[in-house]
């Protein structure tokens, strides 16, 4: 009995002393937090203007879209890549937006950047990209959990379930493949 009490006490002290370092960014959208911190950063495009025609601006703006909005753009392109950008990602498969744009320019592929979640600080940077960063419309998808609204957006773009990879490659709007490494462009 004494050993059970001792084990329970040690376990409680250990658990109480633990803290989480880092962030849980990427699990939820952070849309509301970003919108309240910087309401001018996030814009909903006017329905009369195609998002395909929107170019990056100074200061930087993030345009709120859904997969169907973006599907209209990629169907007009011979070759297009949608890069699912995680602003705070530290993986070897996470690339700077400027570098991805350069690679796509070399291969003559139209690049569209979609933020996996919102990050006020990193979305304010004016990247050297042709198109602005697009943010996923969490209100359209009626959910705030990243994995759920991201899978719905990808399905809207590809008509495929379980597409894996940060890069989604389409030709004339038709899904060809998804991949992780920029070298596959």
Domain boundaries, the chain: 25-184
Residue 170 contacts residue 80 (beta carbons within 8 Å): yes
Sign of CA dihedral 33, 34, 39, 44: negative
Sign of CA dihedral 177, 180, 103, 122: positive
Domain 25-184 top-level CATH class: alpha beta
Q: Whole-structure pTM over 0.85, yes or no?
A: no
What does the pLDDT look like over 40-99, one tens digit per residue? Answer: 999 998 878 888 888 888 889 999 999 999 999 999 999 999 999 999 998 888 999 999
Query: Distance between CA atoms of 39 and 185, rounded to whole angstroms?
Result: 35
In this prediction, residue 23 carries a pLDDT of: 47
Query: Distance between CA atoms of 156 and 113, rounded to whole angstroms?
Result: 16
15-23 average pLDDT score: 37
Residues with Cβ within 8 Å of 45's Cβ and at least 6 positions away in sequence, in order, are 51, 54, 63, 64, 65, 69
Average pLDDT, the chain: 85
Q: How confident is the model at residue 1 (pLDDT cuts 50, 70, 90)?
A: low
In this prediction, residue 8 carries a pLDDT of: 44
């Amino acid at each position: 009995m004494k050993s059970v009490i001792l084990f329970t006490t040690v376990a409680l002290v250990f658990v109480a002393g633990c803290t989480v370092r880092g962030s849980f960014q990427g699990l939820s959208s952070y849309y509301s937090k970003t919108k309240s911190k910087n309401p001018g950063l996030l814009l909903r495009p006017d329905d009369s203007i195609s998002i395909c025609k929107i170019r990056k601006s100074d200061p930087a703006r993030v345009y709120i879209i859904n997969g169907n909005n973006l599907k209209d753009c990629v169907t007009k392109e011979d070759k297009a890549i949608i890069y699912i950008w995680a602003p705070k990602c530290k993986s070897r498969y996470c690339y700077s937006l400027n570098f991805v744009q350069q690679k796509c320019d070399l291969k003559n592929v139209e690049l569209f950047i979609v933020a996996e979640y919102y990050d006020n600080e990193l979305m304010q940077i004016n990247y050297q990209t042709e198109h602005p960063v697009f943010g996923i419309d969490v209100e359209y998808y009626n959910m705030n959990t990243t994995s759920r609204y991201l899978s719905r957006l990808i399905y809207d773009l590809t008509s495929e379930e379980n597409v894996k990879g940060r890069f989604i490659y389409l030709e004339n709007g038709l899904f060809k493949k998804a991949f992780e490494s920029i070298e596959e462009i």
